Amino acid sequence: MYFIRETYSITPGRRPEFNHFFDKFLKANQLKNGANLLGCWNTEMENEILVIWQYPSYDDYLNIQKRVKMDDLHQKTKEQLLKLGKLYLDFHQETLSSIGDHQSQKQTVTVSGYITNEKEETLLVRTYWRSDTWELPGGGVEDGETLDTALCREIFEETGITVKLLGVTGVYSNGSTVSIVFHGKSTGGVLRTSEETQDVRFVKLDSSNVNQYIKRGKFLPRVLDAMKGYSIPYEAFRVRPYKLLERLEGIAIQDET
C-alpha cells in the first residue's frame, strides 16, 4: 500500500467553508478516480486539517493523479478556489511509510449486489476509474457496518435504487480483499448516477451477451455465479447480548422448480 498525508493550515474563521469545498471538489475528484480516503482530522484549535489517502501502489497513485488532473472536476476545483479566495494559508503533502506490523493482518471487505427488477433485468454500473467495463454495484464495508447494511447503502449511493436482499451467491478473495456478492430485488428509487458512477442501467443479461458488458476477468465469475439463480443464507447479529439483526434465507436450487 502507498499512503499520502496532506496538511491544510486553515484561514481563521473559514473552516466550515473549507470543509464544504473539500467534500464537494477535492475529495469528490479523488474518490471518483479511485483513491481511498482513510480519514480527515481537525486539530483541537480547528486551524489545521490532516487528510490521509491510501493507494494500492505508487504506480496506482500516479495513474489516479493523472486521471484527477484530466477530470473536468479538476478545472472546476481551481475555478471555485479562485471565487472563494484564500481558504487555507498553507498546504503540504508527504509520503507515509510503515515501520512494521503493529496489529494483526487485516483484509479489505467489499460487497456487491446482483440486483434484478420486475423485468428480470440486472442493475449494472460503470465507474469513472473502471470505464472499460460494467460491473455489479457495491463498495467497501465501513467499520462496524454489517454486510447487508453496507451493500444497501452503496447501491443507493451509486444508483438511487433501493433493494431487498435475498442471500449470498458467492465469496471471492485475492489474498488482500474479500468480496461477497448478494442476490436481491429492486424495491424502488429512481436510477441516477453519482460522484463514483458515470452510467447506471438495468440490462437484460444472459449467456449470449454477458461478455459484452462484464469485461474484467475478476468480475465475470461473480456475475455468472449469481445468474444461476440460487443463493445461500446470511445472518447479521450483535453480541453481548446476542441480537439477530437480519437473516436472509437464500434461494435453494429446488425452490426454482
pLDDT at 257: 41
Determine contact, residues 22/37, Cβ cutoff 8 Å. Answer: no
Q: Tens digit of pLDDT for each residue in 111-129?
A: 999 999 999 999 999 998 8
Count of residues in the chain? 257
pLDDT mean over 175-183: 92
Task: Give φ, ψ of 232 to 5 degrees.
Answer: -105, 160
What's the CA gap between 150 and 128, in Å, rounded?
A: 21
Q: The whole model's pTM is what?
A: 0.66
Q: Tens digit of pLDDT for each residue in 125-156?
A: 999 888 889 999 999 888 789 999 999 999 99
CA dihedral 169, 174, 179, 183 (to 10 degrees): -20
Domains of the chain: 2-96 (3.30.70.100), 108-251 (3.90.79.10)
pLDDT at 102: 53
pLDDT at 103: 57
